[in-house]
Amino acid sequence: MQYIYFLSNASLTLRLIDHLCRDCQFPTSIVTVIHRIDGWLVKIKFSQELTQAQHKDFQAYLSEIGIPYEPEIRLQMALWSLEVGQSIVDVMRRYQLAVVSHGQPNYSDIEAFREQFTKGLGYCPETLA
């Protein structure tokens, strides 16, 4: 079971990762976080099916912080490439994406990306707030 959502800023993305790491009772298998100029894409894949109640609860939570996203074919290929084990760097080069994190939910990868990106620009864009 997988979910792909678009989130408008880093704070919401970090809130989701925090939820998956601490608050969630779900068996998260892979979380992929991609930064785009207009926001963040997060793909969450669970290692086992959620119950109907868990699915509805999780979807309600995701709908509060983001919107469901149907990736275009290029992004689908990038996500598939990551899932089959291609390196993050190769996927970023091939598909021209900023893959911030892939694997277990990782709060520190997102924080480090946000800090480095902001430092390089000299200001904090809205999507990194």
- Within-domain flag for 23: yes
- Within-domain flag for 15: yes
Domains held by the chain: number: 1
* CA angle in degrees (0–180, nearest 5) for 55-88-38: 65
- Within-domain flag for 104: yes
- Within-domain flag for 13: yes
122 backbone dihedrals φ, ψ, rounded to 5°: 90, 0
pLDDT of 125 strictly over 70: no
- Within-domain flag for 80: no
pLDDT digits (tens, 9 = 90+) for 85-124: 999 999 999 999 999 999 988 888 888 888 877 766 665 5
44/31 Cα distance (integer angstroms): 5
CATH of the domain at 20: 3.30.70
pLDDT digits (tens, 9 = 90+) for 31-86: 999 999 899 999 999 888 888 998 999 999 999 999 999 999 999 999 999 999 99
- Within-domain flag for 52: yes
Q: Is 85 left (phi over 0), alpha (psi -120 to 50) or beta?
A: left
Q: Which domain holds residue 117?
A: 2-71+98-128
The pLDDT-based confidence of 24 (bands split at 50, 70, 90) is: low
35 backbone dihedrals φ, ψ, rounded to 5°: -95, 135
